[in-house]
Structure 1
Amino acid sequence: MEVGEVSVPETSNFSKIYDTLQANPYFNAGAGLAGIGLAMNVLRRSAQIGNTYFRRRFMITLQINNEDAAYPWLLDFINKRSAQQTRNLSANTIVQQAESGKTELSISFLPGHGQHFFVHNYRWIKVERQREKQVIQRDGIRTPFETVTLTTLGSDVTFFKKMLQESAKDAIDNTQTGLVIYQAVGPQWLRFGIPRKKRDIQSVILDKNICQELCQDFEEFTKSSNWYADRGVPYRRGYLFYGPPGTGKSSFISALASHYGYSVCLLSLSERTLDDDRLNHLLNTAPPNSVVILEDIDAAFVSREDPMANHPAYQGMSRVTFSGLLNALDGVACAEERITFMTTNYVERLDPALIRPGRVDRKQYFGNATEDMLRKMFLRFYPSSTSSQADLFIKSIKSTENLSPASIQGHFLLYKDNPMDAIDNIHRIFD
């Protein structure tokens, strides 16, 4: 290059080429479409990545299918809390027909297939119920395979865990179960009839805080198995309920067992075929989650300190010996996890060895009706009555010294819907 000549950059050639292409309408159209397509692809890919990231970091999901026992519980839980949002329902009908011909029909409604939204604990939840083409077979019935998926904002998975626990608790609490009664037949326990309807524990009216104290004692024992094992104490509990007839001893035991989901095993020591070996076997083979009731324990034995113990009238009443009963209650071969209730109308007739600690851990007196009990019973039988009517009822009874709760209840049954008639005819109790 000579001095004074100016060098022209080679980029000017590229500029000319660019200007030429830019002036070409076909190139501009293709480049524009390609650019838009590339930009849209980048945006779509970015949205997918962003959506995946967002769902992983800021959303939680619960999926459950109809092979799981909790599936209907969860659907029922959702339906109860989405009544204002859900319009798509499916019905589940159950028909029960007794041998007598009596028919009972129950219909439950569940969220239908598709998407639903509901609010739980101030959080919106999306529900998607899907039915697959495959089928499952359960109890000989072919059912389409279904899944339900719950999605909500958040990062704490315990939200859905607690929700599933709540749905299970609601279902279990509303399950219609009965009190199962077992009776000793030969060397085994057999169910006696069909399960009976459970009795509300609050329906057994006791004086002061006896009900709450006994419930607390029973519940504390059922939760203390580790405490007993750590200290080497036999995990058994014995109760003695004593008092006049008709004061609610047996009724309270049944209500207590029902309240905590226990069955009842009835055993009569006066049975002629019962001996020491069979008694010991029955007490140690009671069904799981059951309590054993020995009613009228005083009728089987007379205290060794009682002058009537050697009277001929008391001889040969039972093949069970007193020492055999003591060993069955607190012997070396006694089973663990056993709860025994004994009832009597005459506690003074019982031998001290029978009711010592270890065989009887708690004694409770059930007395005749007090003014507080009368008031509670009146207001329970007549919920629409007033306190002044309850006071009038109490004043109408001249003496409650020998008046049992059973006699009061029998009087109320004569006037189910009219508390004033029950008050005006109070004299009929003493007839």
Structure 2
Amino acid sequence: MMDFLSSLGSNPYFGAGFGLFGLGTLAAALRKGAQLGSMLFYRKCLISMEISSEDKAYSWLLHWINACAASETQHVSVETVYQQSSGGKVSTRFRFVPGPGDHFIQYKGRWVRLHRDRDKQMVSLQHGSPFETVTLTTVGRNADYFSRMLDEARTMALQQLQSGTVVYQAVGHEWRQFGHPRRKRPLQSVILDEGIQECLVTDVREFISTSSWYVDRGIPYRRGYLLYGPPGCGKSSFITALASELEYGICMLSLSEQTLTDDRLQHLLNVAPLETIILLEDVDAAFINREEQHPDMRVAYSGLTHVTFSGLLNAVDGVASSDARLLFMTTNYINRLDAALIRPGRVDVKQYVGYCSDYQLKTMFSRFYPNASPVQAVAFQRKVRDRYPTDSISAAQVQGYFLMHKYDAESAIENIDKLLKKQP
């Protein structure tokens, strides 16, 4: 046996092979040790945070990085902001965010590795776009580091939103911000008949401030309002100004939308963003009074919407209806609405918003011409009534007339014949 081992030791091929085996074993051990050390370092010395594209903080973070660390990201993706005015004018601008892959940014004295991953095989059911995640990794053990980063991103996003009234539109099964925040409209800019505005604002504020009262008594914490009256009298304008006053957003939903179903309506009302007004405009266009509905009318209206009347009732006031909800509905023809829809519990406040009263004519005049005297406001009101004793005049018509005489109160009084003159 000893002779055999001695012969192997003197064999140069065996010696070389044994040496290679030893080097391979050592290399494998070093590689395994490096992997183990890397894993331990990653677990003990690094902290990571992952955010999916389904989370609101996802877009906040990308836009914050674009604003604060744009020079440190070399590979970017483009988001095109496209706007078209009612007159047809088109404006576009480009917004750059970190593209898919790895990026390194510096925050609070630390380097952060940002990895944006786009899954080409998974698609978001809400957005219809590829599912994405962003993973942030840095040295440390305390998650407060990322909390401060998210707080800054959130603050920046909310500052942009709070600069105006945010309008949401239903897309699929979620609410998405529609365009940029609208310029806030002062409540004083909407002139309703005397006492109406104050009454509605007081009621809404009381509802918002008494959530515990509803909870203590086991009453669903939601309130519904119906504003009805002729078109152009200020229903939608008041709701917009009210949202600005309360610093609420507006969720616009059309019941006549072809893709809207009972289930989708129920879901949308339940996932509406907090501190928003849900607005259902022209509800009479989707449903008509069942008691007065002629069989031929059922056929004519059947194709307008996929939402059933019972589905709407359940969404507004059913078992699965959400709490903490502020719902406004508008209609030009209240007599077309079914009594079941506007009963107490579904509609708690019904308010008529009609044609201009004498109070509105005088107040609107003073609003448009702050330097005019009260005597001129009364003169304008009397001249309107003398010239149009039987005509109904909407606030939109008066506003349009004032826009033709922006800076001349006397001209607005003297040319009253043109108030209801139809434009060619």
**TM-score of the two chains, using structure 2 as the length reference:** 0.61
Gaps of 5+ in 2: 1-79, 82-90, 94-106, 112-157
- Residue 220 of structure 2 is matched in structure 1 by 234
CA drift at 1:139: 11
**Using a 3 Å threshold, how does the CA distance of structure 1 residues 231 and 138 change in structure 2: closer, same or farther?**
farther
Structure 2: distance between partners of 1:216 and 1:264: 19
Partner AA of 1:284 in structure 2: N
Which has the greater radius of gyration? 1
> For the residues of structure 2 that align with 1:338 and 1:138, how far apart are their CA atoms?
44
Residue in structure 2 matched with residue 382 of structure 1 by the alignment: 369
**Aligned residue number for residue 305 of structure 2:** 318
Are 1:428 and 2:418 matched, yes or no? yes
Give, as a single letter, the amino acid of the residue that structure 2 aligns with 1:263: G
Are positions 1:335 and 2:306 aligned together? no
Structure 1 unaligned regions, length at least 5: 1-97, 103-135, 141-171
Instruction: Choose 385-394 or 338-347, whichever is displaced more.
Output: 385-394
Aligned residues of 1:182 and 1:265 also touching (Cα < 8 A): yes
Matched, 1:137 2:108: yes
**Contact 1:204-1:251 within 8 A present in 2 as well:** yes
1:5-404 superposed matches below 5 A: 137=108, 177-308=163-294, 310-311=296-297, 312-397=299-384, 398-399=387-388, 401-404=391-394
Partner of 2:398: 408
Ranges of 4+ aligned residues in structure 1 off by more than 6 Å = 98-102
- Percent identical pairs in the alignment equals 53
- 1:67-120 deviation line (CA, Å, top 9, x unaligned): xxxxxxxxxxxxxxxxxxxxxxxxxxxxxxx99899xxxxxxxxxxxxxxxxxx
Q: Counterparts of 2:235 and 2:361 in 1: how far apart (Å)?
A: 17
Distance 1:402 1:261, change over 3 A: same
Report the CA distance between 1:308 and its aligned residue. Answer: 3.3
RMSD: 2.8
Q: Normalized against structure 1, the TM-score is what?
A: 0.60
Q: Which residue matches 1:82?
A: none
In structure 2, the CA distance between the partners of 1:251 and 1:139, relative to structure 1 (3 Å rule), is: farther
Gap change, CA 1:407 and 1:139, over 3 Å in 2:
farther
- Name the aligned partner's letter for residue 314 of structure 1: Y
Partner of 1:77: none
Deviation at 1:309, TM superposition (A): 5.9
| Amino acid in structure 2 at the alignment position of 1:417 | Y
**Distance verdict in 2 for CA 1:336–1:176, change over 3 Å:** closer
Contact kept, 8 Å, 1:234 with 1:336, in 2: the verdict is: yes
Letter of the aligned partner of 1:429 in structure 2?
A: L
> 1:177-215 deviations in whole A, cap 9, x for unaligned?
200000001111000000010000011001111111111
Distance 1:262 1:181 in 2: 9
Whichever residue aligns with residue 388 of structure 2, its letter is S
Shift of 1:315: 2.3
Letter in 2 for 1:201: L
SS at match of 1:363: strand
Distance 1:212 1:230, change over 3 A: same
Match of 1:63 in 2: none
Structure 2 distance, partners of 1:314, 1:412, is 39
Deviation at 1:356, TM superposition (A): 0.5
* Alpha carbons of structure 1 residues 285 and 176: separation in structure 2 relative to 1, 3 Å: closer
Q: Is the Cα–Cα contact under 8 Å of residues 165 and 248 in structure 2 kept in the other structure?
A: yes
**Aligned partners of 1:266, 1:204: CA distance in 2, in Å?**
20
Amino acid at match of 2:345: G
Q: Given the superposition, is the C-alpha separation of residues 138 and 247 from structure 1 closer, same or farther in structure 2, using an over 3 Å criterion?
A: farther
Tell me, yes or no, if the aligned pair for 1:243 and 1:365 is still in contact at 8 Å: yes
Question: Hey, what's the Cα distance between the residues in 2 that align with 1:101 and 1:306?
Answer: 49
SS at match of 1:430: coil
1:355 partner amino acid: I
User: Would the alpha carbon gap of residues 139 and 284 (structure 1) be closer, same or farther in structure 2, given more than 3 Å must change?
Assistant: farther
Alignment partner of 2:419: what SS?
Answer: helix
Larger mean Cα displacement after TM superposition, 285-294 or 387-396: 387-396
CA distance in 2, matches of 1:331, 1:377: 42
Distance in 2 separating the partners of 1:101 and 1:299: 34
CA contact (8 A) 2:162 2:247 kept: no
Closer/same/farther in 2, CA of residues 417 and 138 from structure 1, 3 Å limit: farther
Say which SS state the counterpart of residue 227 (structure 2) adopts. strand
Q: Partner of 1:411: helix, strand, or coil?
A: helix
